[in-house]
Amino acid sequence: YTGANIAAIINTTLKSFKISACSLGYFILNNTTNNNAAINVLAIKYNFNACYRRLRYTYYIINLIA
């Protein structure tokens, strides 16, 4: 489960659903370093700022509560 492998799988999934860079929203992931690496790889490929697009699990939990 390296960041590069996770990014490759996400990229393949995005392509299969024809999701372009301008359609990407935010990524909600847990706090492991390989997820950080995956988002950094995707940020370079899709030209976005990883700090703004990667949300921590806290927001996911708040969403479940709401």
The answer to whether the predicted template modeling score (pTM) of the entire model surpasses 0.85 is no
pLDDT of the chain, 66 residues: tens digit per residue: 899 999 999 999 999 999 999 998 888 888 889 999 999 999 999 999 988 888 777 766 777 787
Residue type, 62: I
Residues 6+ apart with CB under 8 A from 42: 7, 10, 11, 27, 48, 50
Q: How far apart are CA 10 and CA 35, in angstroms?
A: 11
Give the pLDDT confidence score for residue 29 in this predicted structure.
83
Contact 44, 10 (CB under 8 A): no
How many separate helices (H) and strands (E) can be counted in the chain? 4, 2
